[in-house]
Structure 1
Amino acid sequence: MRKKKMSDNKRTRLLVLFLCVVLISSLLIGCKSRGDKETSSVPMGRYMEQELELPEEYQESHIISILSNVDNELEVYLATATTMIALIYDGESWTEKTISWINNIDQNKYMIYKVILGKDNQYYLITVDYSSGEYQYMIYKEDGELAQKLEIPWLETKTEDYKGEMSYPNVEDIQVLEDGTLVILPSIYGESVNMFDPSTGELIQDYSLIAPVAVSNQDLIGYSTDQQKLLRMDKSGRETASYVYDAVLDNSLIQEVDGNIYSLNSAGVSVLQKDGSLWQTIVEGGLTTLSDQTMVFQELAVMEKEKAAYAVLAYDSQYNIKLYYYQFDENVASIPSTQMNVYSLYLNPTIRQAIIKYQSEHPDVLINYTYAIENGEASNANLSDTIRALNTELLAGNGADILVLDGLPRDSYVEKGVLEDISDRIKPLVDDETLNKNIMQNYLSDSSCYYVPLRFQVPLAYGNKQVVEAMPSLDAMIALLENKDVTGLFNNIGAENFANLFWALYSKELVTDEKTINEEILGKYLDMLQLLMEKLGEENIFNFGTSQLQVDNAIELDRGFSMYFGENNKSETFVEQLLSLSDSQVTLAGAREVGMYYDTFDNQYIESGLVGINKASKNKELAKEFLAYLLGDKVQSSTAFDGFPVNAKALDGVMNEVDTLQGMSIAIDTEIRQIEAPDEKQVKELYDKIKELDNPISYDCMLSSLVIDQVKDFLEDKVSKEEAVQNIMNVAKGYLAE
C-alpha cells in the first residue's frame, strides 16, 4: 500500500507543536528553585560523627570501657569515686544497667581496668591489685551477683623485667573464645600473646603476634611482624588465613564480628568482609576526629543491627577521654559540596587538628590539607625546588586558599601581591584583646595585615647566669669568650648546631630591612663562633651532620642540647624550647633545686603556624571564616604540642593548668631521674616572662641553610674569614635577588 504524502501545512503544524513542547519543558526546568538539588547527580549518605555526652548526673564519672552487648547496643562502663556504673545507649537515649557483680569487688583495693564481653556472651573484667605497692593483674568473670576470680598461675608468677627487677606480668587486654578459652595480650612489646584453658588456667598456646589482636568464635587474629600482615590462627597454633594490613600498628584496633574483621585507625573505620580480600572504608577518617594523630584509641564497639553504628573510645592530646558515635545519615552528601585547600611546607599539628574539628561542625565542607615535606627532613636542593615550584604556582594566580608560611618567603609574597589583606579580621581581635597584643603588633601596620601566627614557642637558656645573660647579644658573647674560661659552662652541641642557634638569635642584626647581609655583623658572628669552638676544644669543630632548621612546622633551636640532670651537670648552660607548659619542668627543676638562672633571649619568640590567605583564592570568605576559627577559643585552647596560644584567654587557661603537671621521668644513659612538678609560684614567674615576649625570631630558613654551608667551610679551616664573608655575601645576594 502506498503511503500518503504528508502535506506541508500538517508538517508545519507538527513542527510548531514540537517546538512548543521543547520550549515549555525548558521553561519548567529553568524555573526550578536554586535550593532544589539534583539528587540523582549528588551521591548521598555517609557516617556522621557525634561526640556523646553522658547524662548530667554521670558527667563527673570516668569512662573505663565500651562494648557492644548481645542486643547490639552500646554499653558504657563508668567509674565514680565509690562505685561502677553501666549505661546503655540505643542511639537516642541512655538507660542504666545493674552491675552488682562488679560492685561486689573491693574497689578500694582493686582498680577496675577493663570490661569485656566474650564470644561466649559472658562478661569479664581486668582488675589491678596495687595495695601492696606492686601491680598484679587479675581476671574476673560474671557469676550471677558475684565476680568469680579466674585462677591463672601465669598472672601470679613474677619474672625479671627489663630493669632486672622481679614483677608480675602486665596485661594490655583479654579476649575470650566461644568455649571460654582466654587470650591475654601483654602490654610489653615483643612478648607473646598467650592462650589459657579457662578451667585449669594452664597455658594452651603462645603466639608470636603483636597488637592489634582480636578473636573469632574459635580463632585468634593478630599482627605478625615477620609476615607483616594479620594472621588467623587456631588453638593449635596453626595459621588458617592471612590478611593484608597497612595501618599504623601502635594506634590501631581490630574486632571480629560474624566473620567480618573491622579495623580502627587514623584512616577511619574499615571492614574486611568474610571471605573478602579488600578493606572497605565505612567511616572516613579524613572527615572525622579519627584522623587526628594525637588521638590514642582505646576501644572500638561495633553495633551490627538494622542500622549499623560504631563507637570509639579514645584519649585526646590533653589526655581527656572522649567517646564518639557514628551513624549513617542518608541526607548528607557522601562528599562535601564545598572544598578548600590548605598548603604548608611542613605538617602543622594545630592546622591538622583544627581541620578535623571544623569539618565535624561543618559537614558540607571538605578541607584538603597538603604538606610538602615529611618529618621535617629535606635537603637544601629539595627545599629550594619545592619553594620555587610553589612560587611559580602562586605568581600565576593559582595555589591553595590558605598558606601556612613557616619556612616560606612570606615578605616576598607580600611585595608581589600574593597574599590577601586580613586586617579586617585581625585588627578587631587585637583591639578587644582577644589576641595577644605583644605578639600581634609585629604583624599589623596602620593599614594592613597579611599573616599571623597561630602559636608561639618560647626559647630560653638556663644554667650559668653570665652565659645566659650574654647569649642574646653578639658583642656580649664575644666579650665573655675573650675574657672567661667557658670550659664546662656550655653544654657542647657541636659547631653546626651552635652556628644555627646563633644565626637565629642574631638574624635581625645579620639580615637588614633591605634584605642584604650586614657585612660587619657577619664578621663578628664568624669571630664569635670560632672563639667558642676553640674554647670548647678542637675535636668539636667538625661536629657537623645535624640540622636545626625546620623540624615539622617550627625552628628547633635546642637541637643537640642535653638537659639538667642534677648535681653532675648543674654548672652547664642549656637551651630549651618550650612548646607547652609541661616542657618547662626540667628548667624549673634546675632553678628550684640548684639555683640555675634562666631567661628568654631578649623577649624573642618563635612563630609557629604563620597563616595567610592566597589573594587568588576563590574561597576568600570561607578562608577568612576558617582563619577566625583557628584563632578562636576552641582551637586555641586545645593542645597540639606546637606552641602556646596567641589567644589571650586560651594562654591564661594554659598557664593556670599547674595542677595538670605530674612531674616527669628523664633518662640519660642508664640512669633515670624523677623530676617533680613546679609549684604555682614558679609557673607564675615563668608566665610573667612569657607575657613580655614581643620580638619574633622569623628568619628565612632557606637562606640560613645556604649560609651555614659556608660557615662550615670556615670552621673547618677550608677558607679564611675574608673568603667566608665573601662567599656568604654572594650566596645570600643570589638567593635574596630571586
Structure 2
Amino acid sequence: MKRIFSILLFFSMAAALVSGCGNNKDNLGVGTSDIGGDINTTEENKNGDGTNGASGENNENTAMGRYVETAIDLSEYCIRTDSLTKYEDGTLVIPDYYNSPIVSRDNGETWEPEGTEWFTKLMKEDAYIMDMAYGPDGTAVVIYDKSDDNTDSEDDSNTDSEEDPAETKDSDNQDEESESEALGENETETDNSKEDEYRLDPVGFIVKPDGTQIPIQISVEEDDAYMRNVWVSDKGRIFVSTLGTNIYEIKEDGTAEKFLTIEDRTELIAFQGDLMIIDGSRFGDLILYDMEKKERVVDEVLNDFVSENYKERDVYNGSEFFDLYIFPGEEGVIYLAGKKGLHRHVIGGSTVEQIIDGSLSCFNNPSYSLHGMVTLPDNEFLALFGGGKLVRFTYNPDIPTVPNERVKVYSLEDNDTVRQAITIYQSNNPEVYVEYEVGLGEGNSITRDDALKKLNTQIMAGEGPDLLVLDDMPIDSYMSKGLLLDLSECLNSLNGENEIFESIKNAFKKDDKIYMIPCEIQLPMVQGDEKYISQMKDMKGIADAFEDLREDNEGKALVYACTEKGILGIFSMVCAPAWKTETGELNKESIEEFLLQCKRIYDAQMEGLPEKFLEDYELNNENLIAYYDTPRDNPDWIRSLDWFNYLSGKIQMVCGSLTDVNEYAEFRSIMRKKEFADDVYMPLDGQSKNIFIPKNLVGISAASNNIERTEELLKVLLGKENQSYLFKGMPVNKAALEGEFIIDEKYVSEEGIYSYIGASDQDGIMVDLEVYVLDENQQQELRDWIENVNMPYIVDTVLEEAVYKEGTKYLRGATSLDEAVKAIEQSVAIYMSE
C-alpha cells in the first residue's frame, strides 16, 4: 500500500487541462437518511417534474412509501475495491486489491477482514492485482501482473484513485483519463493505449473454497492484447474479458476457450440464470446472450430504457465503477442502478419499474461512483460506492413517496456541486424535496436567451426558484430589480467548520449587502523563469515579458494558446472587471488597452511558431469538439494550467487559473526540479488586481416563499461536508481548505513525496513529476493568497463575446483598433442600456 505508483497517461497537447475538468470523487460524509423513490411506480415522472403524482401538500391522496438509506463507512478496509458479491449462502464479500477481503454474514450489518493465504502471498510478491471475482460458492478468481516494471503501464489510470492511494488528486481518475484519451492525437481509445498495454503479461488462477489453486491457461488473440477482467456467473461459470472484442470461458481445469465475440470492448457482464448481459462504454443497446441456446436475445423495452436514460455512459472507467450497473434479482428479473435511481425489469416484460428515484437518493450524487449492488432479504438492497461507502436501502411504507415540502433550485447548466449539496441536504432533511431545474438541460435544444426568458416569466409569475445558481446570468439586472435577497445575516451566521473566507464575502458587498456568494473559486496565476515573470505586473508588463521571451526562444511556443480567441480568453479573466465603470457603463479606454496589449502578446506567440505545434493544436481542437462539443480556445479550457507541455519544454510559461490544492502542490513541486530552479510563480494581475474567479455563484430569490429552508440549503452548499469535495475549484470554506492540506502519512515517502505522475504524448516525449507534500510555509502562502483577493471576475457573456468577436478581427489584422472598439460599443449598446 505504501508504494508510490507511476501512472503513465497518454496525453494530447494539453495534459494539464484534463486535470482541471470535472472530476468525480467520492464524498464519505453521508449518514442515515430518508430518501428514495416509489417502489410501486411503473411509470417514471408522471407529472414531468419528478413528482410522480405527489401534490406537494399533506392530504389523504398523498402517495406513501419510499426507500430510506443507511450509510456505513468501510473506508478503513477499502483502498481499491471494485465489487460487492453475495454467496449462495447469503454471505457478502468485498474484495480489495490491497487489503484482505472483508465479509459479512448478517446481511451487511457488520464486517470483518478474512485473511487468505493466496492473497497474502500475492501482496508479499508485490503483485499488481488487475481484477478479482468471487463465485456463488466462494470460489475466487484473480488476474494479476507481478512485474514492478509493469504495474504502472497498464490502463490503471482508467480506474478510481483507490487503485493508486498515492495519487490523491481525483477520487475517480476516470475524468482525467477519459479526457486525456479523448484528446489523443492519432489513435482511438484502444489503440492509443496498446503500445504500453502490451508490456503487461497478466497471469491468473482459480482458488476453490477448500484452498485448491488452479492456474489459468489462456492464450488470447493478438487484438485482445491480454485478459483484463474476470466475471463469475450465478451458476459458477468463469468468463474473462479482454482489451479487444472477445470473451473467453475458463473451464474447471483452468484451460480456456473463446466463448463469444462482440462489437466492442466489454466493461460489465451480469448474469441472470443462463442469460449473460454485456455492456461497455461504447455500447448503444445492452447485449443479451442466452448462454445455453448460444443466441442473442432482443429486449426492446430494456433497450429503450437504456437509450433514454443512460445513452451517454461514461468512458474509460476501467470496469471498476459504473454509470449503469446491472445485477440479478429474483428469477427472470434484473435491476439497473445509476444516476436515475434503481429500476426493476422482468426480461421480456413490458415495463421498467422505478424502485428508487435518483433525484431523491445518493444515486444522484455526482461524487458517488457505483462499484456494485446486491439484493438482500425483505426487499432491501445494498450498494457499494467508491471510497468504501456502503449504503443500505430499506423500504418504509409510512412516509410520503415524495416529500411534501419543496425548495426549488435553478441553474442554466447542470451543476455537480449543487447536486451533491442537494443529496446531502435531503439526507439530513427527509421531509424536504429539492426540485432542481436545469435551463439548458440534457437533450434541451433551447438557447441561453430562451432559457433566461422562460426563467424571468416564472419569476414574474411568482413561480420562480428559491435558490439560483447565477453563473452566466444577468446578475446586475437581477440586483437592480431587487430580485435577490441580502445574504449577509445568513453568511455571518456561518462559524466553526462552516466558516467561509472573509475576503470572499467582502468582495461581494454592495452597500453593506451581499446578494451572492460563490461555492468555489479559482485563482489566476503565472509560472516561469523569474527573468520574465517578474515583469508581469500589468498588461503592458505581460506583453513586454512575452516579447522578451520570444526574443530568447526562437521557434518555440511561449504558451499553449495559439488562436486569437485563446489569447484573449486567457487574459480576459484579469481584465474584464475593468471593462465597465462603477456606474455600469462601457469603459472604452480599458477595452482599447486590453486589445492593444493582447495583440502584442499574440504576435509574440505566433512569430515563428513551429508548424508541428499548430497542427497538433488543431487536431486537439478537433478532438475536443468531437468529444465535448467545445473548441480548445473556449476560455474555461484554455485557462487550464498545462504542466505537461511546460515540463516537456514545448511551452515556456504556464498562465491560467489554479483550480485546486493538488494542482498548487504540483506546480510548487516543479520548482524543485533542477532544470526549473529559476522558476517563480505569482498571482496574475492584468487591468484588475487581486483577482479571483468565482464558480457556482449562488443567490436566493427575494420572492422566495421558503427562505428559511433555502438558507439551510445555502449553508450546506458552503458547509465543510459539501466543500470537502468540489468539481470546479477550491473551497471557500476554511475548514475544507485545511482538509485538503492533509495527506495520510502512510502514502508519503521519506522524501516527502505523496504522488508520482508521468505522461507521454503521441511523439513519444515522456515527462514525470514527483509531487511533494506542501510544507507549512507553502500552505500559508495559499491561505494568504485567498485572504488577499478582493476582485471577482464574473463572466459577462454578452460583453465578452463581443470583445472576442471583434478582438479576433483586430489581432489577425482584419480591422484597426479604433474600428474594433467602435464595433464592440455598437454590439453591446442595447444590452448596456438595459
TM-score interval (norm. to shorter)? 0.7 to 0.9
Q: Tell me the number of residue pairs that the alignment of Structure 1 and Structure 2 aligns.
A: 674
1:214 aligns with 2:298: no
Partner of residue 313, structure 1: 384
Partner of residue 802, structure 2: 706
Q: Is 483-492 or 233-242 further displaced after alignment?
A: 483-492
Partner of residue 732, structure 2: 646
Q: Is the 8 A contact 2:759 2:766 kept in 1?
A: yes
Q: Is the 8 A contact 1:79 1:85 kept in 2?
A: no
353, 356, 371: which one aligns with 1:283: 356
Identity of aligned residues (%): 21
Deviations 1:371-407 (A, max 9, x none): 22359999xx933343344344434544211001111
Higher share of residues assigned strand: 1
Q: In the TM superposition, what are the counterparts of 1:128-207 in structure 2 within 5 Å?
A: 128=144, 130=146, 134=150, 136-144=202-210, 146=211, 148-154=212-218, 169-176=226-233, 178=235, 180-186=236-242, 188=243, 190-199=244-253, 201-207=255-261
Partner of residue 558, structure 2: 490
Q: Is the 8 A contact 2:73 2:388 kept in 1?
A: no
Q: Is the 8 A contact 1:214 1:254 kept in 2?
A: yes
* 1:89 alignment partner, SS class: coil
644, 652, 665: which one aligns with 2:758: 665
Deviations 1:691-718 (A, max 9, x none): 4333322241222112211222323433
Q: Is 425-434 or 265-274 further displaced after alignment?
A: 425-434
Partner of residue 607, structure 1: 694
* 1:42 alignment partner, SS class: coil
How far off its partner does 1:556 sit? 1.9
1:330 aligns with 2:416: no
Q: In the TM superposition, what are the counterparts of 1:459-474 in structure 2 within 5 Å?
A: 459-471=524-536, 473-474=538-539
Q: What 5-or-longer segments of structure 2 have no aligned partner?
A: 1-56, 152-201, 315-321, 748-753
Q: Distance in 1 between matches of 2:816 and 2:80?
A: 66
Q: Distance in 1 between matches of 2:453 and 2:248?
A: 55
Q: In the TM superposition, what are the counterparts of 1:416-495 in structure 2 within 5 Å?
A: 416-429=481-494, 434-445=499-510, 447-471=512-536, 473-480=538-545, 485-486=550-551, 488=556, 490-493=558-561, 494-495=563-564
How far off its partner does 1:357 sit? 1.4
Q: Distance in 2 between matches of 1:85 and 1:482?
A: 61
How far off its partner does 1:38 sit? 7.1
Partner of residue 42, structure 2: none
How far off its partner does 1:529 sit? 2.2
* 1:592 alignment partner, SS class: coil
The amino acid of 1:313's aligned partner reads L
227, 233, 254: which one aligns with 2:326: 254
Q: Is 719-728 or 530-539 further displaced after alignment?
A: 530-539
TM-score in terms of structure 2 length: 0.72
Q: Distance in 2 between matches of 1:482 and 1:202?
A: 64
573, 587, 590: which one aligns with 2:667: 587
Could you say if the C-alpha distance between residues 688 and 419 of structure 1 is closer, same or farther in structure 2, counting changes exceeding 3 Å? Answer: closer
CA RMSD between the two structures: 3.8
The amino acid of 2:415's aligned partner reads N
Q: Is the 8 A contact 1:213 1:221 kept in 2?
A: yes
Q: Is the 8 A contact 1:436 1:647 kept in 2?
A: yes
Q: Is the 8 A contact 1:564 1:586 kept in 2?
A: no
* 2:672 alignment partner, SS class: helix
Deviations 1:554-576 (A, max 9, x none): 96273487444466527711224
Q: Is the 8 A contact 1:67 1:117 kept in 2?
A: yes
1:402 aligns with 2:467: yes
Q: Distance in 1 between matches of 2:259 and 2:629?
A: 50
How far off its partner does 1:194 sit? 1.9
Q: In the TM superposition, what are the counterparts of 1:223-262 in structure 2 within 5 Å?
A: 223=279, 228-235=285-292, 237-242=294-299, 243-244=302-303, 245-246=306-307, 247=310, 248-250=312-314, 251=322, 252-257=324-329, 258-262=331-335
Could you say if the C-alpha distance between residues 45 and 173 of structure 1 is closer, same or farther in structure 2, counting changes exceeding 3 Å? Answer: farther
Could you say if the C-alpha distance between residues 431 and 510 of structure 1 is closer, same or farther in structure 2, counting changes exceeding 3 Å? Answer: farther
TM-score in terms of structure 1 length: 0.81
* 1:556 alignment partner, SS class: helix
Q: Is 665-674 or 500-509 further displaced after alignment?
A: 665-674
How far off its partner does 1:624 sit? 0.8
How far off its partner does 1:131 sit? 6.2
Q: Distance in 1 between matches of 2:402 and 2:204?
A: 47
Q: Distance in 2 between matches of 1:95 and 1:505?
A: 53
The amino acid of 1:283's aligned partner reads I
Q: Distance in 1 between matches of 2:511 and 2:640?
A: 41
Q: Distance in 2 between matches of 1:549 and 1:220?
A: 35
How far off its partner does 1:158 sit? 8.4
Partner of residue 723, structure 1: 819
Which has the higher relative contact order, 1 or 2, with Cα contacts under 8 A spaced 6 or more apart?
2
Partner of residue 585, structure 2: 516
Q: Is the 8 A contact 2:472 2:796 kept in 1?
A: yes
How far off its partner does 1:99 sit? 6.9
Deviations 1:614-641 (A, max 9, x none): 111111111011111212221122x122
Q: Is the 8 A contact 2:558 2:653 kept in 1?
A: yes
Q: Is the 8 A contact 1:66 1:77 kept in 2?
A: yes
Could you say if the C-alpha distance between residues 474 and 367 of structure 1 is closer, same or farther in structure 2, counting changes exceeding 3 Å? Answer: same
Q: Distance in 1 between matches of 2:405 and 2:67?
A: 18
Q: Distance in 2 between matches of 1:521 and 1:496?
A: 18
How far off its partner does 1:505 sit? 1.2
The amino acid of 1:574's aligned partner reads V
Q: Is the 8 A contact 2:80 2:98 kept in 1?
A: no
Could you say if the C-alpha distance between residues 206 and 393 of structure 1 is closer, same or farther in structure 2, counting changes exceeding 3 Å? Answer: same
Partner of residue 139, structure 2: 123
Could you say if the C-alpha distance between residues 613 and 74 of structure 1 is closer, same or farther in structure 2, counting changes exceeding 3 Å? Answer: same
Could you say if the C-alpha distance between residues 579 and 676 of structure 1 is closer, same or farther in structure 2, counting changes exceeding 3 Å? Answer: same
How far off its partner does 1:721 sit? 1.9
Q: In the TM superposition, what are the counterparts of 1:617-628 in structure 2 within 5 Å?
A: 617-628=704-715
1:87 aligns with 2:87: no
Partner of residue 5, structure 2: none
Partner of residue 264, structure 1: 337
* 1:521 alignment partner, SS class: helix
Deviations 1:226-258 (A, max 9, x none): 762332232574224444133254422212332
* 2:412 alignment partner, SS class: strand
Q: Distance in 1 between matches of 2:629 and 2:103?
A: 51
How far off its partner does 1:161 sit? 8.7
Q: Is the 8 A contact 1:549 1:701 kept in 2?
A: no
Could you say if the C-alpha distance between residues 404 and 149 of structure 1 is closer, same or farther in structure 2, counting changes exceeding 3 Å? Answer: same
How far off its partner does 1:50 sit? 1.3
Could you say if the C-alpha distance between residues 532 and 103 of structure 1 is closer, same or farther in structure 2, counting changes exceeding 3 Å? Answer: closer
1:70 aligns with 2:88: yes
* 1:86 alignment partner, SS class: strand
Q: Distance in 1 between matches of 2:663 and 2:549?
A: 31
Q: Is 196-205 or 264-273 further displaced after alignment?
A: 196-205
Could you say if the C-alpha distance between residues 482 and 567 of structure 1 is closer, same or farther in structure 2, counting changes exceeding 3 Å? Answer: closer
The amino acid of 2:757's aligned partner reads M
Could you say if the C-alpha distance between residues 628 and 184 of structure 1 is closer, same or farther in structure 2, counting changes exceeding 3 Å? Answer: same
Q: Distance in 2 between matches of 1:90 and 1:557?
A: 47
Q: Distance in 2 between matches of 1:43 and 1:152?
A: 54
